[in-house]
Amino acid sequence: MSTPHENTLALPVGTTLDRFIMRKQEDFPYATGELSQLLRDLALAAKIVNRDVNRAGLSSIIGSMGQENVQGEQQQKLDVEANIRFIRALTNGQEACAVLSEEEDDIIHTGNCQGRYVVAIDPLDGSSNIDVNVSIGTIFSIYRRVSPAGQQATREDFLQGGRAQVAAGYILYGSSTMMVYTTGAGVVGFTYENSLGEFFLSHPSISIPRAGQVFSCNEGYWFDYPAYVREYLTQCKRDQLSGRYVGSLVADYHRNLLKGGIYLYPPTKKTPEGKLRLLYEGFPLAFLIEQAGGLAYAGTTPVLDIVPTDFHQRSPLFIGSADQVASLLAYAAETASAQRGLVAPAAEN
């Protein structure tokens, strides 16, 4: 007897996102439709943001707003626009009881206290690349609420930890617009057809190669990287791996997901806790990569095992092909062992 996962992936390339979601829901007798509708709401907002991105240079929505967001980063006009689009879609869809956005300081309540789900979202990742027409993206994460239905969502709904995610994904706005997501049964990808206004199944079962020929990091911070990261990257260069770094997390991640590779954002002297946001970037991308057969670590800890304590908590990120991440971890373990060996034993009394 085939599993629900096998039945879903049997759908042909070219299946619309709506039909795919409907068929997937049919595979689970106890599904009630809320999660399916949430994915549709996200796809709807993505279509609108895709339109805005495609005409950004003509519509006076490129450039900075002249103010900082809660992360201390300069807000771009399209950051604000995308934030509005996704919050509005999730509010009007009435399936999410609350939203947590990278652009906002606190929980956004949708008014639907009966909703069973909450959504954490980075509405527009890589927005500093908007003005130069480089690929950017949206990253999202969905949790089943733990607070009682009928009440407003609480902090605990968003701080359950990465293993509690029921769905996660991203939308890449590039040479084509893609929506890639998982509900815990593999990873699927849909490509947007502008003339028809539909997402179509284009990647029915995404698996990351065990090893790739690419490493992705900002080598401008080389001298601030931990020694084991520099040693690993030096070996990558000796092995003649290619350095590829767009500076837009979704774009770098997407390439490595399909082709194989490793993305690194290590801790630095300036950001010793890491720079990437755990709830909006680390957790959803780690969930996806594990479902695709890869690994995601924050230093030497699996990203999904971190217990979050703050909405805007930051973390290092090493993510990608399993063999490459494992190799980096081996360098980290070797360095830690050497450091322990240098510590003199305590003097006896």
> Which residues define the annotated binding site for Mg(2+)?
102, 122, 124-125, 281
State CA 247 to chain mean position distance: 14
Distance CA(99)–CA(311), nearest Å, equals: 12
Distance CA(161)–CA(303), nearest Å, equals: 9
Q: Is 11 helix (H, G, I), strand (E, B) or coil?
A: coil
Closest to 257 (Cα-Cα) out of 244, 239, 271, 269? 244
Start-to-end CA distance of the chain, whole Å, equals 69
Residue 211, burial from CB neighbour count under 10 angstroms (0-12, 13-18, 19+): middle
> How far apart, in Å, are the Cα atoms of 187 and each of 11, 196, 206, 213, 237?
14, 24, 5, 22, 31
The binding site for substrate consists of 125-128, 218, 245, 263-265, 275
State CA 276 to chain mean position distance: 10
Pairing of strands 214-216, 262-265: parallel
Distance CA(278)–CA(331), nearest Å, equals: 24
The binding site consists of 102, 122, 124-128, 218, 245, 263-265, 275, 281
Phi-psi domain of 184 (left: phi exceeds 0; alpha: psi -120 through 50; beta: other): left
Backbone angles phi, psi at 288, to 5 degrees: -60, -45
What's the token pair of residue 271? 């950001």
Q: How long is the chain?
A: 349
